Amino acid sequence: KNQVEQSPQSLIILEGKNCTLQCNYTVSPFSNLRWYKQDTGRGPVSLTIMTFSENTKSNGRYTATLDADTKQSSLHITASQLSDSASYICVVSMDSNYQLIWGAGTKLIIKP
């Protein structure tokens, strides 16, 4: 079954600290993987996208990695800010039918 699993479900860290969010997938055939940020009560906003041949992609303080062999991705946030408090969602696209498989997200809370 094509699935995307994210961990942890929720995470609380202090402002200024780094953190890493995980995304494991069983989607096949794989096309690309995207990370979204969703503020509470708002729509998701795309952060990064990686294809099979890419293993890292940065967007400011956000760095995503992809290991297509182990079917794992991570999102690393450096020097966290209060505005980073949000849910982070991993989405994998299937190469065969362009279907998008959405993870349930990780809820990140940054405390001052």
Partner 1 sequence: DGGITQSPKYLFRKEGQNVTLSCEQNLNHDAMYWYRQDPGQGLRLIYYSQIVNDFQKGDIAEGYSVSREKKESFPLTVTSAQKNPTAFYLCASSPGLAGGPRADTQYFGPGTRLTVL
Residues that bind partner 1 (CB under 8 A): 4, 9, 31-32, 34, 41-46, 49, 51, 89, 93-94, 98-105
Radius of gyration of the chain (CA): 13
- Closest approach, Cβ 76 to partner 1, in A, equals 21
Residue 68 or 78 having the CB closest to partner 1: 68
Residue 67 or 95 having the CB closest to partner 1: 95
- DSSP for the chain, please give it: ---EEEE-SEEEEETT--EEEEEEE--SSEEEEEEEEE-TTS--EEEEEEETT--EEEETTEEEEEETTTTEEEEEE-S--GGG-EEEEEEEEETTT--EEE---EEEEEE-
- Closest approach, Cβ 42 to partner 1, in A, equals 6
- Closest approach, Cβ 7 to partner 1, in A, equals 13
Residue 32 or 74 having the CB closest to partner 1: 32
- Closest approach, Cβ 29 to partner 1, in A, equals 12
